[in-house]
Amino acid sequence: MIIISNLNKRFGSKEVLRGINLKIYDGESLVILGPSGCGKSVLLKHIIGLLKPDEGQVLIDGEDITQFDQKRLDALRMRMGMLFQSAALFDSLTVEENIAFGLRKHTTLSDLAIHHIVSEKLEMVGLPGANHLMPSELSGGMRKRVGLARAIAMEPEIILYDEPTTGLDPIMTCAIDELHLSLKERLGVTSIVVTHDLNSAYRIGDRLALHYGGRIVAIGTKEEIIHSPDPLVQQFIRGEAKGPMTLL
Amino acid sequence: MIVSDLVRDLVHLFGSLAILFLQSVYWTVQGIRTGRLGMKNLMDQMSRIGVDSFPMVAITGFSTGAVLVVQIGYQFAQLGAQRYVGGVVSMAMARELAPILTGIVVAGRIGSSIAAELGTMKITEQIDALETMATNPVDELVVPRFWGCTIMLVVLTIFTNVIGMIGGSIVAVNQIGLTLTTFVESILQNLKIQDLMGGLFKAMIFGGLIGIIGCYKGFTTEGGAEGVGKSTTGAVVLAIMFILAVNYFLTVGINNFNTAYLS
């Protein structure tokens, strides 16, 4: 289980996280919704230890990872995968080398075994045979799918998705959502998804949380969120420009 | 206020460069100890640095050797000291000009490209992605560039020396009227091994500086394309300033060492 307790983070004078409290249960899929620039990606980066909070704790299986040294953090990251907003593929490596990066670094698998795993993951994200392409030859959506293949290559227990379906067409969005659900079903993966895509959120989320003003202002199942009386929630899910939620 | 800010910035810069250097050494030792030093990555960097820089280094070396002979040759001819031309030119090249000019060329060519590459990786979250895959960015990115620059600057400086002497000899024979034998004999009689070694030692330090400064500027890139541009030019300016400043202290140190132990 992941427990985020009273997490605070400030960049200069801007307070991005103001006492975030969240619990993510094993095997659960939690979707974090919220307007652009409210700090959702910053929250994800705290969960994988890329950022240190000014205050607060991130407990994974009961251990506060904000106090981990580099060695323990690396051991934890071997159990996690992250899909970045920009996919963050290594420009100088081919698709296959990108996906195989973690496997080559941290396992003793043979080149052939790694090639099979890479091909299997590419098939899963709908890009069979893309092994030898360079990232510069891929469209935005394809880059994102390769990023996802890289995130799942080591079969992690926890996957963090930063806007996994942004830039994808509706069919591919649905395919990625189905992949997400099948990973959850097959491997019991715990996932935390940051997205703006409500349809996708409703499809994949066991629970949905609304992040606004540095806090989690609402959390619940799809039905609870849809029927929430909170005006912030209603404004966000209806996509209204006017309301208590101001544009950042 | 402005002076105190400047001092604070300088202390921060020197501290950050020193930390990055020490981290590189640490990860090199770790790599050797565990047998996981990325030799392929290092060879890739060395070949890139060498191949990319060689044409400019060759032109710079040839032109400098040739111009030096023109300048010195006519003056020495008036004094009847033509037979010292080769020796003086080779000493000037080996001790100062070859390492400095090669350093400046490589700072412009490679320091900038390292800063641009790592800066782009930083702003596109590729460095964060490395960390999420339990990979230390210093180990993966800085170590091969640091050693690549350090080793290849020595190799390129040797080329600069050789090509400079070829350029010098062509001018000496065709314009100053020396024979090739006189020119070469003058080099062999006057140029000492410590002149060459001192220059190559300087080149090694300059190479390390270029690598560390390029990586530091890349890692500290902020913003978008504008930030990458600033890091790129910043890396070149900073590396050249460091080379020129450090050269003075190296020259004094090498001269003192030669006087104390080799004369």
Which residue is it, tokens 């950042």?
A248
Closest chain A residue by Cα to residue B128: A50
A141 Cα to chain B: minimum distance (Å): 16
Mean pLDDT of successive 10-residue stretches along chain B, which has 263 residues: 86 95 95 84 91 92 95 86 90 95 95 96 94 94 96 96 95 90 92 93 97 96 91 96 95 92 76
Q: Where are the alpha helices (DSSP H) in B79-172?
A: 85-92, 98-106, 112-123, 126-132, 137, 143-171
Judged against a pLDDT cut of 70, whether residue A248 lies above it is answered with no
SS3 A183: helix
* Selected residue of A73, A86, A161 to mutate for chain B interface (largest B Cβ count, 10 A): A86
pLDDT tens digits along A96-132 = 999 999 999 999 999 999 999 999 999 988 889 899 9
* Confidence (pTM): 0.88
Domain count within chain B: 1
Q: Are A213 and A41 in contact (CB under 8 A)?
A: no
Q: Where are the domains of chain A?
A: 88-155
Contact list, B133 vs chain A (CB under 8 Å): 77, 101-102, 105-106
**Contact residues on chain A for B40, CB-CB shorter than 8 A:** none
pLDDT band, very low/low/confident/very high, at A183 (cuts 50, 70, 90): confident
Task: Retrieve residue B56's tokens.
Answer: 């400019």
Whole domain around residue B14: which residue ranges?
Answer: 2-262
Assess contact for A61 and A1: CB atoms under 8 A: yes
Q: What does the mean pLDDT of chain A come to?
A: 90
A135 touches chain B (CB under 8 A): no
Is residue A167 over pLDDT 80? no
Residues 6 or more apart whose CB falls under 8 angstroms from that of B234 comprise B115, B217
**Residues from chain A contacting residue B131 (CB–CB below 8 Å):** 50, 77
What pLDDT is attached to residue A192? 94
Q: Do the bridges between strand A80-83 and strand A2-11 make them parallel or antiparallel, or are there none, so unpaired?
A: unpaired
What is the model's pLDDT at position B40? 87
Q: Are B243 and B211 within 8 A, CB to CB? A: no
Closest chain A CA to residue B125? A88
Kindly determine whether residue B128 and residue A88, on different chains, have CB atoms separated by under 8 Å. yes
pLDDT for the residue numbered B181: 92
Closest in B124, B135, B136 to A88, CB measured: B124
CA-to-CA dists, residue B51 to A160, B48, B153, B198, B207, angstroms:
41, 5, 12, 25, 15
A189-211 pLDDT per residue, tens: 899 999 988 889 999 999 999 99
